[in-house]
Structure 1
Amino acid sequence: MASTMPHHLALLLLLLASPAATRLAAGAGACASEKFPAGKTYKTCEDLPKLGASLHWTYDASKESLSLAFVAAPAAPNGWVAWGLNPTGEGMPGAQALVALKGSGSSAPAVKTYNITGYVPLGGASTPIAFPATDLAADVGSGGKIRLYGKLQLHKGMKAVNQVWQVGSSVTGGAPDKHAFATDNLSAKSKLVLAGKALAAAAAPTPAPAPAPAPDAGGPSASSGGSDSGAVSSLAPSAGKSPSAAATARVSAPALLVLALVGFLAMV
Structure 2
Amino acid sequence: MASATQHHRRAMAVLAVLLATMASPTATRAAAAAAGGCDGDKFPAGRSYAHCAALPYLGARLHWTHDAKTGSLSVAFVAKPAGAGGAGWVSWAINPTGEGMKGAQALVALRPSPAGPYAVNTYNITGYKPFGANSTAISFKTAELAADESAGEVRLYGKLQLAPGTEVVNHIWQVGSAVTGGAPTKHAFDKDNLQSKGRLALSGAALAPAPAPAAAAGVSSPAKGGSGAASPSGGKPSAATAAASAPVLMLLALAAGFMAIV
Same fold at TM > 0.5: yes
Give the root-mean-square deviation of aligned CA atoms. 2.8
When residues 92 and 115 of structure 1 are mapped into structure 2, their CA distance, relative to the original with a 3 A threshold, is same
Provide the residue aligned with 1:74 in structure 2: 81
Equivalent of residue 93 in structure 1, options 102, 110, 129? 102
In the alignment, structure 1 segments of 5+ residues that lack a partner are: 1-25, 221-228, 234-240, 254-268
Shift of 1:28: 6.8
Equivalent of residue 192 in structure 1, options 189, 193, 200? 200
Deviations 1:126-167 (A, max 9, x none): 01111111000000112x110000000002332111000100
Provide the residue aligned with 1:242 in structure 2: 235
Q: Which moved more, 1:28-37 or 1:150-159?
A: 28-37
When residues 209 and 180 of structure 1 are mapped into structure 2, their CA distance, relative to the original with a 3 A threshold, is farther
Deviations 1:213-245 (A, max 9, x none): 3x4xxx56xxxxxxxx99828xxxxxxx43863
* Structure 2 residue 137 is matched with structure 1 residue 128: yes
Provide the residue aligned with 2:118 in structure 1: 109
Shift of 1:208: 5.2
Shift of 1:173: 1.1
Q: Distance in 2 between matches of 1:58 and 1:208?
A: 27
When residues 200 and 131 of structure 1 are mapped into structure 2, their CA distance, relative to the original with a 3 A threshold, is same
SS in structure 2 at match of 1:122: coil
Q: Distance in 1 between matches of 2:237 and 2:142?
A: 25
Q: Distance in 2 between matches of 1:43 and 1:107?
A: 31
Mapping 1:15-164, distance limit 5 Å: 30-76=37-83, 77-102=86-111, 104-142=113-151, 144-164=152-172
Provide the residue aligned with 1:232 in structure 2: 224
SS in structure 1 at match of 2:224: helix
Q: 2:109–2:120: 8 Å Cα contact kept in structure 1? A: yes
How many positions carry a matched residue from both structures? 202
Q: Distance in 2 between matches of 1:192 and 1:64?
A: 15
When residues 29 and 247 of structure 1 are mapped into structure 2, their CA distance, relative to the original with a 3 A threshold, is farther
Shift of 1:64: 1.1
Q: 1:115–1:129: 8 Å Cα contact kept in structure 2? A: yes
In structure 2, give the amino acid aligned to 1:60: D
SS in structure 1 at match of 2:193: helix
Shift of 1:204: 3.2
Deviations 1:46-84 (A, max 9, x none): 011111101000001232100010000111121000001
In structure 2, give the amino acid aligned to 1:83: W
SS in structure 2 at match of 1:148: strand
* Structure 2 residue 183 is matched with structure 1 residue 175: yes
Q: Distance in 2 between matches of 1:108 and 1:230?
A: 20
Provide the residue aligned with 2:206 in structure 1: 202
How does the TM-score come out when normalised to structure 2?
A: 0.69
How does the TM-score come out when normalised to structure 1?
A: 0.68
Q: Distance in 1 between matches of 2:213 and 2:191?
A: 7
Provide the residue aligned with 1:264 in structure 2: none
When residues 61 and 200 of structure 1 are mapped into structure 2, their CA distance, relative to the original with a 3 A threshold, is same
Q: Which moved more, 1:164-173 or 1:204-213?
A: 204-213
Q: 1:78–1:104: 8 Å Cα contact kept in structure 2? A: no
Provide the residue aligned with 2:258 in structure 1: none
Q: Distance in 2 between matches of 1:83 and 1:27?
A: 20
Q: Distance in 2 between matches of 1:247 and 1:170?
A: 34
Q: 1:46–1:201: 8 Å Cα contact kept in structure 2? A: no
